[in-house]
Structures are given as structure tokens and as C-alpha cells.
Amino acid sequence: MTATAKMRVLLIESQYFPPIDSYKTLLNNDILQIEKYEHYQKLSYRNRCYVAGPNGRMILSVPLTRGKNQRTVMKDVRISNEEKWQSLHWKTLVSAYRRSPWFEYYEADLQELYEQEFKYLLDWNLACFEWMNSKLGIVVPITFTESYQKETSGVTDARDTILPGPVVTGGPALYTQVFQERIGFLPGLSCLDLLFCEGKQALKVLQEGSGK
């Protein structure tokens, strides 16, 4: 990139171990800007991610102190740590991916992350995002919004454009998933799925999927 080239900025909501589609979008930009002044929106990737199970897609959902129907500003959304959700999420990941080619390689490091307690959803999501970036080998500057702006300019506004939805299996496969022979390829999964299945080749898969 030349000194005069314009830096491409992606604006997106905070997500819990973002889905593969978010990463493919990220790779076509130079800077990530995370929205922190919006009101929390339910039925999104903000406090949930999806992983592959033997019978289809499984949800990992972070419990919130005022529930999923709250209208709190995202930066103030608190995690309900009265529930042993991290232990449950970790056990689900172990059960789903212990037979995947690369899970053992990342297991100890990821377990350490799940043993840390976080008060705010934004902080937890950021820790997960930075962990994933370090494993993928992605280096991207991260900034945060300073206020909520419905209309934006000079950025690629991807807020609420990548959302959970009905899963149709059997579509084009970017890589081989753990239970693919049994249930077909599952889209919309967390990048954790790609990492555990492809390991050090995960970034290459993302780059090919993003058109880079």
C-alpha cells in the first residue's frame, strides 16, 4: 500500500468469537472500528457464537445481567457470572472438537482464556477477538466509536449486516468440518470451527474466501 492510499475502515458491532463471514469481511479492510455506543441488540452475534455439533449447529450464549431484552448501551452491558457459563462453553467446545485435527494444539491456551472472569461483554468479546487474531496471524489496528452515529461516511458500515439465521446445509464448503460427512457443511459458524479444523492453514482459507 502506498503512502497516499486510503486506509479502509470496517465498522462493526462487537461479536463473541466472530463468525467466519465477519473475518472474510475484515480481511478486505485495514482498520477495525468496533461500535460501543449502540444499544444492545438481541438475536445477534454480540453475545453468542455457533459451533458444530454431531446433530447440527450448537449455540454458545453469554448470559447477561439484565437478560437478552435489555436496552443498555453496549459498553455497559454486564455479564452474569452467577452462572457457570464459561465452564459450560468450554465443556461444549471440548466435546465438539476433541476429534478435530487442531483442537489439541490450541486447547491449553484457550482453556486459560475461559478461566478468566470478565465483567463486561465488550471486554470479553475483545479478549476473544484478540486471542483469535493471534492464532490466525492477523494484525489489524482496533479502534472504538466515540459516540453513536446512525449514518456514517468514510467507513464500510457492516453493523447488523452479518446475523444468525436459518442454516441450510450442503452448500459450498470452504474447508472440511468435523461432522460434515454426517450433516453436511454448516455455514455461519464461529471462526473457532475453522481454526480447529484447519489450524495454520485457517488464514489461507479466509483469504481465499474473501477474494484476497
Confidence label for 166 from pLDDT (cuts 50, 70 and 90): confident
Note the pLDDT of residue 91. 98
Note the pLDDT of residue 73. 94
Helix (H) or strand (E) holding 33: strand 31-35
At 95-127, the pLDDT tens digits run 999 999 999 999 999 999 999 999 999 999 999
Contact status, residue 20 vs residue 194, Cβ threshold 8 Å:
yes
Residue (of 135, 126, 134, 91) closest to 111 by Cα position:
91
Confidence label for 170 from pLDDT (cuts 50, 70 and 90): low
Confidence label for 165 from pLDDT (cuts 50, 70 and 90): confident
At 23-78, the pLDDT tens digits run 999 999 999 999 999 999 988 999 999 999 999 999 999 999 986 656 899 999 99
